[in-house]
Chain A
Amino acid sequence: MNKNFTKKYLSFAALLTLLIFFLAQDIFSQPAQFQKVINNVSHYVKAKNKSDKAAAGEVIWNGDKVTTGERSFASVFFTDDRSLLIIRDNSSVEIFGKKESSGYAKNTFVNKGELNFKITKRKDQDFIFTTPTAIASIRGTTGFIRTLNNLNTLIYIDTGLVTVNAQLGRKRSGSIGTGMFAMIDSSGDVNISQAPDSVKKEYNSTKSDGTRKIIIKTNHGDIIIEYLKDEDKH
């Protein structure tokens, strides 16, 4: 075999291996995992370019998308610090996690819908939520985030402090404290005020899975049907 060819081939293979290795740092990151899944939850695996029905315990890879259907629900925890997201029905969320020495640098794209979050406090990293109109930087906080049909974003903070930046228009920013909520609109304004009871009530409703179950006993075993109750829908 030609020595030059072999040398070139090996060099190419080495480069390719290095490239795959560096790419794999992100592609094969496993930032999150499904904790609980109810009804129709779709898991799009970016690396496979394929969607499948999600299941409890399934690993979420970097860049994967979770989509919940009507009366459906998924809870997801992050594998580096057990931060928790509860993705409500009719939502679409992309989860990114770039591996760093102290854990994952996390970014969750809320394309549509609503999610409740309980983010573990860490010294050196913020948890980023991105919506079509806002970026929220979070460090140890509980609350919920919702994108509205007009692309406005509503963020409520039950405990902690969040910095929020509008992505569009005037690109205003602000800090949301405990018991406050912010509305970020497409013109780039950030309106922060004390949360009314209706928002707090909504926050409480997003914490629980709000599910109902029916067990049908058959000769071949029990069939369990689990669904979100109507009152929790928005």
Chain B
Amino acid sequence: MKININIFCIFIFSLVTFIINTRETFSQPSGRVSSVSVSEARENQPLTVSAELIQTSGLAKIILAYRSFGQSEYKQREMILSGASAKAIIPASDVVQPYIEYYLILEFENGKMETYPFGVPQQSNALQVSVTANNSIGADKGILILSPEEGGQIEKGQLFVSISLLKAPSNIDRAASKIFIDNADFSSHIIITEDLILLYPEQFSKSIGNGNHSLTIELYDSSSSLIYKRTTTFEVIEPNTNFPLAEVNGVRYGVSVQYEARNESFDTVNTMYNRGLINFNASYNDWKINGQLYLTNEEHYYLQPQDRYSLSIESSWLQLNLGDTYPSYPSLIMNGKRVRGVSGSVTLGDFNLQTSYGQITRSIEGQIIQIYQPDNAPVGPDVIPYMDSLRAEISPGSYSRNIFAIRPSYGNGKNFQFGVSYLHSVDDKNSAQFAVDPQENVVLGSDLMLGFDDRNILFTAQAALSISNDDITTGTFSNSQIDSLFGPGKPLGGSAGDIKLLTRLLSRFITVNQFLKPIELNNLSTFASEAALDLNYFDNNFTVRYLYRGNDFQSFGQSYLQTDVQGFNFLDRVRFLENRLFVTMGFENLNDNLQKTKFSTTDYQTINFAATYYPQLNLPHFNIGYSRYYNYNDLSTSDPDSVKRSLAVNDITNRYSAQIGYDFNMVIKQHADVSFIYSKRNDNSIYNYNAENTSVILSVSSEWNNSLNTSLSASVNQSNTGYSVFNYTSVTAAGSYLLLSNQLEMSAFINPNFGSLKRIVFDAHLRYNLIKNLSFMLEMQYFKNFEMIPNDSMVSFVTRYAI
């Protein structure tokens, strides 16, 4: 009877809070994106953002836009598309407490774009993920967590907790020590010996299942004051019985083959997809080889590559990647760009060398739209000479673009590293007949990292200078061309001799002609730099950064860098109440018009404030935040010049957010979240882009046992831009169940949407492991649309075999 009452309570609680999906998954109405999930967000650890796609036809690429707390600029990173999913990683340095805002930009082959959630950032709120603080206390007290290793994997049956107090202060009240695993208190099970605090697996093996777990240790002194607290994570895995299964002459290897047949029916159009994936890995002593081949029927000569193939070889000193790779250089040079070719690095003690060479854009032939006689040909960038005397208006294709980058560096990167980078990228102007403006780009950069006092003082800086040529069709100036253009009385004046000398020097690196940037070297238009100082003292994490990016700075290795911006930001996070309360304040002031190329300079000011409170375990935690974005310039909306009127900027956006999360046990393990975001933008420009957005999300997830998980969620979204109103409510009920000794997994959700968006989504997913190495997956989605919109559906069948 008691159980029934408890279950009733759960039901009531669920109704009252309306809730969920899982805490990391966000579901918003979209015709393309089914859901977005993020990995556990921990401070200074990389964060993976994954998107599941409903419909992939016509999709050229997906870009993840994100910004850390305290920054107004959304950084962008192309997501790696693989079949019906996309993934991108936010670097550890950008994962800053208390939260990160992000959204997706979907670019289509026809040039159109949309965002997920729809209308971000002007018309709706970006998604937000809370970042867990590193709320350690007493890290310098000589207490050593021996087992489990932080972030490490441990096989089921080998798990134990061991904490060494050998070098710990003598005033620790060892009997008062506390150990929590996944917020459950195991303190009554610990064994205290001379110098060790121990917790043995047999005492909790039933309740510590496979997967990621958190371990929290609290130590108190004789006056019951908390003097040490540390939370780490570990993963419990099944004993490794199936990898590597094969071994020949000391070479261990594993292979998996996957095939997907997928049919999508959207807007009454049926599209069939066939996708194959082969993964291969092998190891021999210290050497590892990984290979991947992904083939899809979406691969067409008139699109950028959709197939992917790669082979990597690595050892303790060598990393060699062939095929499709995503090399990572300093962010001003190249980061996250797909390179089809070869990439690698050598680490020889303090000396390191990294290099990449390959193709970043495939040539795609354009098409002739119409042929003209020279006399009646229109003028435009897409009209090119054709067959000697004619002109052709074309739909331009793209040239093949190759890239070469190299970065030698000195220092192991712990407390010191200095690197120099060189990047050269050029279009192959012979690779396409009907394309326009082949380009070339050279970037030279350097970077420095200095750490002191165990990196409590950390200084990082990078600078880069780019030289670009916007049209290399005619090649480098010849001497006769220079003589005809430069010199006294010539069209461009100056000294022909100086120009010849400069051309001779520069042409070794880049094509020199009238399309070269920078035109002038003294205004820093192609210069970019960033510097940051991090200080970590007196319970403060203080960071101050400065950035400068000239309006012509360009690196073909980094497509998503905002240019024509300079300024600074600072961020200070203060810890209170034994690291339970975090208060974060930030201010940023940026401006554009660095080379005075605009009518007026626009300032972008951002003020941020957030407070996060982590009370004692088993109580809810919460965070509140406020941000103010103020953008303005000195142009007036009543200026008699209509152009200036149209460029006047004066808008303020205020954004408020609050979130409460609670892990609790009510008969079963549960997690509940309530979040609220409200933003209002007052636009005093002539466009009056006022906007008011409100999002409320309530969710609860329940782990009934090792086989059954359920979730309920509800979100209310209201958007009023002055020009349009878009209000809708979305409810999701989901569950997953394991049976037949976990061989069969069934999951499903239903997601009705009401209001401005009327749609019901049904999803069912089956995974069956027929034998250990062979599995089948069946996924079905059905979209019930209203108001005369045809219904949509998707069916996917996946077979996977591994040896």
Contacts and interface: CB of A to CB of B under 8 A. Distances in A.
Given A204-B286, A205-B285, A213-B241, A30 B144 contact: no
Among A35, A104, A201, max chain B CB count under 10 A is at: A35
Given A57-B201, A59-B196, A215-B241, A80 B164 contact: yes
Given A82-B146, A102-B167, 11 more contacts: A29-B194, A33-B146, A33-B162, A57-B160, A57-B162, A57-B201, A79-B196, A80-B164, A201-B285, A214-B241, A231-B250
22 contacts: A28-B194, A30-B194, A30-B195, A33-B196, A35-B147, A56-B158, A56-B160, A57-B147, A59-B193, A79-B146, A80-B166, A80-B167, A102-B167, A104-B166, A204-B285, A204-B286, A205-B285, A213-B240, A213-B241, A214-B241, A226-B239, A231-B247
B750 interface: no
A80 B193 contact: no
A19 interface: no
Nearest to B148: A35
Nearest to B144: A82
A231 B239 CA distance: 21
B170 to A, nearest CB: 12
B198 interface: yes
Among B157, B158, B250, max chain A CB count under 10 A is at: B158
Contacts of B195: 30, 79
A206 B411 CA distance: 30
B166 A103 contact: yes
Contacts of A205: 285
Nearest to B287: A204
A213 B285 contact: no
A98 interface: no
Contacts of B286: 204
A216 to B, nearest CB: 11
Nearest to A79: B164
Among A57, A59, A205, A231, max chain B CB count under 10 A is at: A57
A160 B285 CA distance: 20
Nearest to B240: A213
Contacts of A57: 147, 160, 162, 198, 200-201
A117 interface: no
Interface in A14-36: 28-30, 33, 35-36
Contacts of B198: 57, 59
A224 B156 CA distance: 11
Contacts of B162: 33, 57, 79
B148 to A, nearest CB: 10
A99 B196 CA distance: 14
Nearest to B165: A79
Interface string A82-94: 1000000000000
A30 B191 CA distance: 14
Interface in B260-283: none
Nearest to B195: A30
Nearest to A33: B162
A77 B147 CA distance: 9
Size class of B's contact patch? 20 to 34
Contact of B196 (A30, A200, A204, A226): A30
A70 interface: no
Interface of B is mostly: loop
Task: Give 4 nearest A-B pairs by CB, closest first.
Answer: A57-B160, A204-B285, A79-B164, A213-B241
Contacts of A200: 285
Interface in B348-405: none
A28 B195 CA distance: 10
A41 to B, nearest CB: 13
A29 B166 CA distance: 10
A81 B162 CA distance: 13
Contacts of A77: 146-147
Interface in A56-112: 56-57, 59, 77, 79-82, 99, 102-104
B239 A224 contact: yes
A210 B730 CA distance: 52
B149 to A, nearest CB: 9
Contact of B157 (A33, A35, A224): A224
A36 B241 contact: no
Contacts of A104: 166
B144 A80 contact: yes
Contacts of A99: 166
Nearest to A215: B241
A82 B193 CA distance: 18
A231 B285 CA distance: 13
Interface string A194-234: 00000011001100000001110100000010100001000
Contacts of A102: 167
Contacts of B147: 33, 35, 57, 77
Interface string B165-178: 01100000000000
Contacts of A33: 146-147, 162, 196
A97 to B, nearest CB: 10
Contacts of B167: 80, 102-103
A103 B166 CA distance: 7
A173 to B, nearest CB: 27
Contacts of B158: 36, 56
A175 to B, nearest CB: 19
A182 B303 CA distance: 60
A215 B772 CA distance: 12
A22 to B, nearest CB: 15
Nearest to B149: A82
Interface string B673-691: 0000000000000000000
A204 B286 CA distance: 6
A224 B158 CA distance: 12
A129 to B, nearest CB: 21
Interface string B461-479: 0000000000000000000
A38 to B, nearest CB: 10
Contacts of B201: 56-57
A217 B147 CA distance: 29
Nearest to A212: B241
Contacts of A36: 158
B144 A81 contact: yes
A201 B741 CA distance: 41
B196 A213 contact: no
Contacts of A224: 157, 239
A102 B741 CA distance: 51
A215 B239 contact: yes
Nearest to B145: A82
Interface in A134-164: none
Contacts of A204: 285-286
A30 B241 contact: no
Contacts of B144: 79-82
Contacts of A201: 285
Contacts of B194: 28-30
B195 to A, nearest CB: 6
A151 to B, nearest CB: 29
A104 B198 CA distance: 19
B350 to A, nearest CB: 14
A35 B196 CA distance: 14
Nearest to B156: A224
Contacts of B247: 231
Nearest to B147: A35
Contacts of A35: 147
Contacts of A56: 157-158, 160, 201
A102 B146 CA distance: 17
Contacts of B166: 79-80, 99, 103-104
B234 to A, nearest CB: 13
A73 to B, nearest CB: 12
A111 B572 CA distance: 57
Interface in B281-313: 285-286
A127 to B, nearest CB: 15
A104 B164 CA distance: 12
Nearest to A102: B167
A213 B195 CA distance: 34
A16 B661 CA distance: 58
